[in-house]
Amino acid sequence: MFVKSLIHPTRYAFPNLPKTFQLTRKMSVLVKSLKYSKHGEPVDVMEIVEGQLQDPKDNEVLVKVLAAPINPADINTIQGKYPVKPKFPAVGGNECVAEIIAIGKNVSKLTTGQHVIPFATGLGTWTTHAIFAEEQLMPVSSKIGLAEAATLTVNPCTAYRMLKDFVALQPGDCVIQNGANSAVGQAVHQLCRAWNIKSVGIVRDRPDIASLKEYLKSQGATEVLTEEEIRTSTLFKENHLPRPLLALNCVGGKSATEVSRHLADKGVMVTYGGMSREPVIAGTAALIFKDVSFRGFWMTRWTKENADSPERIHMFTELCELIEQGKFVAPVHEMVPLQKFKDAMAAVLDFKGFAGKKFILDMQN
């Protein structure tokens, strides 16, 4: 961080002047931000732009961003394919963990040295420093790891809300999901374990499938099957596990149709992504004879509709407690220096959302 002191000379020439006439020390912080001025592929339109920030005013907070993840929604926003349209020039990113380095005179709930995460959406977090309003931030314990804190507000919250809001799940009930090794999928398995809910994960076949299954089971998955295995599995027919009351879909296409076949009567499928870019097709038999319901979920909408709700505060409190207790960890991830942001974004695009790990920008390197 580069800090430039700006001290007015009258403070030294006339030391006995009243304080109202003396200018206090001010800071000018050099900032590096990942910005874009038009929609397009991130590697083409994103660039590091330098600027300066002055002291925070009134209810403002100056933060040093420590880490900020790259989410699929961030990529889609830059491409112009996401419902949220930023004003140009825009700073990318929607999540981060930051440290407060200065506060405005009217800030009352936050203090310097605290770690904070965004409490509002669309702030633009791919930056080394930023000034936000106090109400746009939420403090988190510095005991929480940078990766856990930086990725807290999107994927864990998405998993939490889908498990809470569509079916009244009880201990012993079962959930099934595709994309089980995604960041949301990993969060689902961990929350199911914490709440004594059985979870079945569906993943694509790959050379390291055995180690992937082992890893997901270590996170809390009851069973992990490939998309080929689920088509012939007797896991539910032979009552090895109860039929799922809830299915979570982030893939779409044939994968979604196959997963929905295993739902219990009056089960619910919630779609929160479409990585295959194929539509969700509901089986006629599932609709008529099992009365299966198909719903959708968008975390951004939920956040806007429940910005200051007790449910949102309780969710963050419970998630942070699970992290501090060692019962919830960040998804598989790779920290990438800010200067190498193009490599990380190219990797995300190459894998089309199926990278199997989260790329997190190290904003201080």
Active site residues: 82
Single-letter amino acid code for the residue at 362: D
- Tell me the C-alpha to C-alpha distance, in Å, between residue 354 and each of 19, 71, 267: 60, 12, 27
* DSSP code string of 107-172: --S--TT-EEEESSS-----BSEEEEEGGGEEEE-TTS-HHHHHTSTTHHHHHHHHHHHSS---TT
CA 223/CA 212 separation, integer angstroms: 12
Taking only Cα atoms into account, the Rg of the chain, rounded to an integer number of angstroms, comes to 23
- DSSP H helices, the chain, are 10-13, 42-45, 72-79, 146-150, 155-165, 183-194, 209-219, 227-232, 253-261, 284-289, 299-305, 310-324, 341-351
CA 184/CA 179 separation, integer angstroms: 8
CA 317/CA 311 separation, integer angstroms: 10
CA 27/CA 151 separation, integer angstroms: 30
Contact indicator for 177, 247 with CB cutoff of 8 Å: yes
Please list, in sequence order, all residues whose beta carbon lies within 8 angstroms of the beta carbon of residue 311, skipping any fewer than 6 positions away.
none
Residue 35, beta-bridge partner list = 47, 91
- Tell me the C-alpha to C-alpha distance, in Å, between residue 311 and each of 164, 184, 281: 11, 19, 32
Task: Give per-residue burial for 314-346: e unless 16+ CB within 10 Å, then b.
Answer: ebbeebbebbeeeebbbbbbebbebeebbebbe
Contact indicator for 222, 200 with CB cutoff of 8 Å: yes
Please list, in sequence order, all residues whose beta carbon lies within 8 angstroms of the beta carbon of residue 237, skipping any fewer than 6 positions away.
none
How big is the CA angle at 147 (ends 144 and 151), to the nearest 5 degrees?
A: 100
